[in-house]
Amino acid sequence: MLSPTLQRTAITDYAASRGYEVTGWLEGVDESGSSARSAWWARLDQACARVEAGEADVVLVWKFSRIARHRLKWAVAVDRVETAGGRIESATEQVDTTTSTGRFTRGMLAELQSFEAERIGEQWRETHAHRRARGLPHNGGPRLGYVYEKGAGYTPDPDTAPVLRDLYARYIAGSGWRSLQLHLDHLGIAQPRTGRSWTVRGVALTLGNGFAAGYLSVHDPACGCRKPASCVRRVHVPGAQEPIITAETWADFVRVRDTRAATPSRRLGSPHVLSGLVRCAGCGHAMRVRPQTAYRSQRLECPEPRHCPAPAGSVYARVLDEVLGWLRWVADDVDGAARTAAAADTGQAAARQSAAALARALQRTDDALTRLTTDLARGLIPEGAYVSARDELVADRGRAAAALADAETALRRPAPDRALVTGLLDRWDVWSAEERRGLVGDLCRVTVTRGRPAAIMVQGVWDD
């Protein structure tokens, strides 16, 4: 990148030679002029607006390439400025745009810059594809938990790899992104790319890209969109780096992240341990914690009392006592622990059989879709029959894929042992509300049924 100071000097000298008075500066340092999403285009709109408002007569640039790398943006800017009676001039490419030859020359320079931007973009895409084919990310920048060396690639960093592994464990246990960011700041660990303090978004992206699990996050090739770089559909493919976390930890992280994404933010940040965990037996919705001003306490109530056939409610402290009593019972019930383990083994065996059957059904559906497409290509079936059969098979495949995902989730969630419950009780007064909420949600389901008094049922997640 040429120094912005040199560009400013060239523009200033050109303006002085023409007798122009510079009334303002608009800079876009280290911003791409070939991307339609670049923040530079908003600044160019400001310059055009000043000409349209009569506040300026000329828009001066160092080279036409500053605004000509995107054909549509360039054409719109030229039209807006010239319609308002202004001009766009270059300090280093002096072209007389009052003549047809000058306008043709300026157009050729702009087209040349668009061509260069597209050519460079194609080269970068080829480079990225080559690196991904070797199991490497699209760039060789530093990453938390790893040390990068040319030739050797990414290897786990003995100093920061345990920290990254601990971040996953904390998130699965119930910590939020903000809590993890504060934890990194407390440890004095900065972002490896910029050396600055971590942001909440940076922590979420670092853990969510799957790099620590041995994956690369790439654009979904089945998406079919025209602009893969700006598409949000991503898939994880195996990378060449050594994993820091296990596949089970990554699966648990994805499960917890997806669950939290479907949970209102007011519950994730709630100071109450049971927020979002207690269900109304009448409608199945998560009950809300509401203050009782007269009694200086909280109460759990059905969120949809008008539409629920039997809206339930109970004092929050009473439900919490039931949950703590159930946890103590699980921790002290030695015989029950053996029965729980046996039930977990039975459930795991059933889940494995179900997953295998669903995987076979999914494969049969894929084979049927392939045969159907082949028959259409050979002209054996009409297009109308193909569309109808294809839609039905696609719907069947979607249902089978969803059921398979549920079965695989059940396989990844074995029944917790007494040691986990005992550890939770021992650290109940030490851990934060969100950490306790995460573990309680992994251990049990709580349901409140309408009555006087309300019936509270606490059930282990491993029970039927």
Q: Where are the domains of the chain?
A: 4-132, 156-222+234-262, 267-334+417-460, 344-412
| pLDDT, tens digit (0-9, with 9 covering 90-100), for 30-57 | 655 555 566 677 778 888 888 898 888 8
- pLDDT at residue 348 is higher than 70: no
What pLDDT, on a 0 to 100 scale, did the predictor assign at position 223?
66
Q: Which residues contact 192 (CB under 8 A, 6 or more apart)?
A: 141, 142, 143, 144
- pLDDT at residue 157 is higher than 80: yes
Distance CA 271, CA 268 (A): 9
CA angle 71, 76, 82 (to 5 degrees): 125
Which among 26, 29, 99 is positioned nearest to 56, based on CA atoms? 26
Average pLDDT over residues 103-117: 76
Distances (CA, A) of 111 to 258, 397, 413: 46, 48, 58
Six token digits for residue 194:
């910029």
What pLDDT, on a 0 to 100 scale, did the predictor assign at position 292?
77
**CATH fold for the domain made of 4-132:** Rossmann fold (3.40.50)
- pLDDT at residue 323 is higher than 90: yes
Categorise residue 154: left if φ over 0, alpha if ψ from -120 to 50, beta otherwise. Answer: beta
Q: Give pTM, 2 decimals.
A: 0.46
| pLDDT, tens digit (0-9, with 9 covering 90-100), for 253-274 | 998 888 877 766 655 667 888 8
Q: Are 278 and 286 in contact (CB under 8 A)?
A: yes
Q: Are 300 and 288 in contact (CB under 8 A)?
A: yes
What pLDDT, on a 0 to 100 scale, did the predictor assign at position 375?
81
Among 191-200, 203-212, 217-226, 387-396, where is mean pLDDT lowest? 217-226
Question: Selecting from 3.90.1750.20, 3.10.105.10, 3.40.50.970, 3.40.1280.10, what CATH number does the domain 156-222+234-262 have?
Answer: 3.90.1750.20
- pLDDT at residue 71 is higher than 90: no
Give the chain's mean pLDDT. 80
Q: Which residues contact 291 (CB under 8 A, 6 or more apart)?
A: 297, 298, 299
66 confidence band (pLDDT: 50, 70, 90): low
207 confidence band (pLDDT: 50, 70, 90): very high
Q: CA gyration radius for the chain?
A: 31
Instruction: Name the residue type at position 246.
Output: T
What pLDDT, on a 0 to 100 scale, did the predictor assign at position 226?
58
Six token digits for residue 105:
């020359």
| pLDDT, tens digit (0-9, with 9 covering 90-100), for 176-204 | 787 788 889 888 899 988 888 999 889 99
For 79-119, give the DSSP string. HHHHHTT-EEEESSS---TTSHHHHHHHHHHHHHHHHHHHH
- pLDDT at residue 228 is higher than 80: no
Q: Reduced to 3 states, what is the DSSP secondary structure of residue 65?
A: helix
164 confidence band (pLDDT: 50, 70, 90): very high
Distance CA 54, CA 49 (A): 9
SS3 letters across 170-212 = HHHHCCCHHHHHHHHHHHCCCCCCCCCCCCHHHHHHHHHCCHH
What pLDDT, on a 0 to 100 scale, did the predictor assign at position 454?
92
Which among 217, 209, 214 is positioned nearest to 243, based on CA atoms? 214
Among 198-212, 306-320, 334-348, where is mean pLDDT lowest? 334-348
Categorise residue 296: left if φ over 0, alpha if ψ from -120 to 50, beta otherwise. Answer: left
What pLDDT, on a 0 to 100 scale, did the predictor assign at position 335?
55
407 CB neighbour count, 10 Å cutoff = 20
What pLDDT, on a 0 to 100 scale, did the predictor assign at position 310?
92
Among 21-35, 92-106, 138-152, 158-172, where is mean pLDDT lowest? 21-35
Average pLDDT over residues 99-127: 75
